[in-house]
Amino acid sequence: MILDIVSYPDPRLNRACAPVREITGEIRTLVADMFETMYASRGVGLAAPQVGRPLRIIVMDPAQKESPPAPRVFVNPALERSGERILSEQEGCLSVPLNYRSDVLRYSAVFVTATDLDGGCFAEMLSGFPSIVLQHEVDHLNGVLFIDHISRLRRSLYDSKVKKWLNRANTA
Ligand code: ZN
């Protein structure tokens, strides 16, 4: 089932999410729906708060543009950032309206530990684009959007654009 995506400035995107205590059938269904929603929106990653569920669950498929599907699920992910700071160019987000994009500083690699859908723990090192997608999605679990990382000036310009867009939508 394709779920509705929560959009900025919805306050549900600013909250830290709770850990998943047990992998239930309900959690598996949510993950399947998150994949369907992500692929339908042509996104490369989606976090549960983006579909209004305040849980520490991420789905992603950073390879989808050039390769066969390679879906990944991370439940309760914990990140250790490593490597140097790199520029993530023209980052965007399914929850950030007006197709806004901006460069964001990220780390070049992350070591992640997480739970899979069988309840097993795994750990791995990610670098390059998958690592950037994972950092973006883990931010969502902590109530952080990529626009929280941009300069104050760029942010206020963006916020005024959103305000105008929302006013127009409300009066239409
Ligand atoms: Zn996002």
CATH of the domain at 28: 3.90.45.10
pTM: 0.95
Cα of 164 from ligand 1 centre, angstroms: 22
Measuring CA to CA, how many Å separate 32 from each of 29, 50, 57, 155? Answer: 5, 14, 12, 34
| Active-site hit among 26, 36, 66, 137 | 137
Supply 146's token pair: 């990529």
CB 145 within 8 A of CB 155: no
Task: Supply the range of the domain harboring residue 24.
Answer: 11-171
Indicate if 137 belongs to the active site. Answer: yes
Backbone torsions φ then ψ of 56, nearest 5 degrees: -85, 75
Q: pLDDT digits over 57-113, tens only?
A: 999 998 756 678 889 999 999 999 998 999 999 999 999 999 999 999 999 999 999
Backbone torsions φ then ψ of 26, nearest 5 degrees: -65, -40
Which pLDDT score, from 0 to 100, does residue 154 have? 96
Cα of 49 from ligand 1 centre, angstroms: 10
Element (H, E) at 160: helix 152-171
**Is residue 15 one of the residues assigned to a domain?**
yes
Cα of 59 from ligand 1 centre, angstroms: 11
Q: pLDDT digits over 124-169, tens only?
A: 999 999 999 999 999 999 999 999 999 999 999 999 999 999 999 8
**Is residue 4 one of the residues assigned to a domain?**
no
